[in-house]
């Protein structure tokens, strides 16, 4: 049996695929199923160690990104890149066709995005069964297109249903596949590992795998005041760490509680598992990471990325907010005073805090990875017959 996974080489696409691969491996072990070979088709391997540990073989496919009209209308560079990326898509599609033809998998699973298009086109031409998963409230163009010939469309947000008209019978509101390690955050050893005080509330600030400069900029202005009451775990982003460390070192050089601020470029899975176990509040963007926050049962303040495609982060945030689990501050309104006020309001009012915790439980759908993995294996077994 062969399963091909495809998606963009970013955390929001890559790690849900790893979560599903984990579930496939678990089902295979529990039901004594042999010979399931799994492949990851993309333009980058993202995290080679995770692929290796979960029995996924990386297959490199050239791909290009199609930019929107808004992104290209005032940028000659973007227009040139669009043209060049059309050639990349053509080359990638030829590559994917022959590689898929050679493997001839039983099923293809897609997380969407430009990186998946060549593989999906090959699957379409060769009539290979397809399952897709969409993490956002507003699906990307590749997901909408591939949904027309997919056997199953799995959604994290039920609000995305309207973008797949006439296909309701093959849509499942599964929720978001999350790494097994992050579904079980822990306090055991976490305070020691992260060098934290158990008696002081902890705020986790994260801007996604790349960090978020606007969030970092607002935080630095209120950091001295926050550290009088809270401890801060801050994932700054690999591209921002050097510059931001100089700023915070300067700001906190004379602060009596500078040791309460813990700065990281990026947190690995173990560190995230421990951070999830001890955090009392999360400040974040509103990509697919909000599902991990919901799984932890932690109240949050979401600051959507305002340039996200189709404004999907804003829609994600407000759809999540309907459950009562978070507060949304739009980036243009996220001043230091507003952010500080919201942090103190949530952390000081037990009723507000409890309602937000309850909201995470109302929103979170468990076992998404297992549901999708089971369907992939079912199709494989049927195909073998």
Does residue 74 have a pLDDT over 70? no
21, 57 contact by CB (below 8 A)? no
Q: What is the pLDDT, as a whole number, of residue 383?
A: 79
The answer for residues whose C-beta is within 8 angstroms of residue 188's C-beta and 6 or more apart is 277
Confidence of residue 8 (pLDDT cuts 50, 70, 90): confident
Does residue 9 have a pLDDT over 80? no
CA distance 342 to 126: 53
* Residue among 299, 259, 293 nearest 280 (CA): 299
Q: What is the pLDDT, as a whole number, of residue 385?
A: 66
130, 24 contact by CB (below 8 A)? no
Q: Residue 300: count other Cβ atoms within 10 Å of its Cβ.
A: 29
In this structure, CATH architecture of domain 181-363 = 3-Layer(aba) Sandwich (3.40)
Assess whether the region 2-176+366-384 and the region 181-363 belong to the same CATH fold.
yes
Digit-coded pLDDT (tens) for 148-174:
999 999 999 999 999 999 999 999 999
Q: Residue 277: count other Cβ atoms within 10 Å of its Cβ.
A: 19
2-176+366-384 — its CATH code?
3.40.50.2000
Digit-coded pLDDT (tens) for 329-355:
999 999 999 999 999 999 999 999 999
Confidence of residue 250 (pLDDT cuts 50, 70, 90): very high
* Residue among 15, 23, 25 nearest 46 (CA): 15
CA distance 115 to 139: 15
**Residues above pLDDT 90, as percent of the chain:** 80
**What b/e string do you get for 162-188 counting C-beta neighbours within 10 Å, with b at 16 or more?**
ebbeeeeeebeebbbbbbbbbbebeee
Q: Where are the domains of the chain?
A: 2-176+366-384, 181-363
Q: Token digits for 375?
A: 């369907």
Q: How many CA atoms lie within 13 A of 268 on its CB side?
A: 6
> What Rg value do the Cα atoms of the chain yield, rounded?
22
Instruction: State pTM to two decimals.
Output: 0.92
Q: What is the pLDDT, as a whole number, of residue 71?
A: 47
Confidence of residue 70 (pLDDT cuts 50, 70, 90): very low
CA distance 96 to 125: 11
Digit-coded pLDDT (tens) for 209-227:
566 888 999 999 999 999 9
């Amino acid at each position: 049996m062969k399963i091909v996974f495809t998606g963009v080489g970013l955390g929001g696409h890559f790690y849900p695929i790893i979560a599903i691969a984990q579930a496939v491996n678990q089902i295979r072990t529990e039901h004594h199923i042999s010979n399931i070979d799994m492949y990851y088709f993309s333009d980058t391997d993202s995290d080679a160690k995770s692929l290796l540990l979960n029995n996924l073989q990386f297959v490199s496919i050239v791909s290009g990104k199609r930019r929107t009209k808004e992104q290209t209308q005032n940028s000659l560079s973007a227009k040139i890149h669009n043209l060049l990326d059309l050639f990349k898509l053509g080359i990638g599609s030829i590559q994917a066709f022959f590689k898929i033809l050679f493997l001839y998998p039983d099923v293809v699973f897609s997380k969407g995005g430009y990186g998946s298009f060549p593989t999906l086109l090959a699957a379409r031409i060769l009539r290979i069964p397809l399952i897709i998963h969409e993490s956002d409230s507003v699906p990307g163009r590749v997901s909408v297109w591939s949904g027309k010939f997919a056997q199953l469309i799995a959604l994290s947000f039920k609000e995305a249903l309207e973008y797949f008209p006439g296909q309701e019978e093959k849509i499942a509101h599964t929720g978001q596949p999350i790494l097994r390690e992050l579904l079980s955050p822990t306090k055991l050893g976490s305070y020691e590992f992260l060098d934290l005080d158990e008696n002081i509330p902890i705020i986790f600030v994260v801007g996604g795998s790349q960090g978020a400069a606007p969030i970092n900029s607002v935080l630095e202005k209120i950091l001295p005041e926050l550290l009088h009451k809270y401890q801060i775990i801050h994932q700054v982003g690999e591209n921002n760490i050097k510059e931001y460390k100089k700023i915070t070192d300067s700001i906190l050089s004379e602060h009596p509680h500078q040791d309460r601020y813990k700065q990281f470029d990026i947190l690995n899975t173990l560190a995230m598992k421990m951070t999830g176990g001890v955090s009392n509040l999360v400040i974040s963007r509103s990509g697919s990471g909000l599902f991990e926050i919901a799984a932890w049962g932690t109240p949050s303040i979401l600051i959507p990325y305002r340039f996200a495609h189709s404004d999907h982060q804003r829609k994600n945030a407000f759809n999540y907010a309907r459950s009562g689990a978070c507060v949304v501050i739009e980036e243009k309104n996220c001043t230091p005073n507003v952010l500080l006020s919201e942090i103190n309001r949530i952390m000081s009012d037990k009723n507000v805090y409890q309602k937000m915790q309850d909201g995470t439980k109302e929103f979170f759908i468990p076992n998404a990875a297992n549901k999708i993995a089971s369907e992939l294996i079912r199709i494989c077994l049927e195909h073998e017959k």
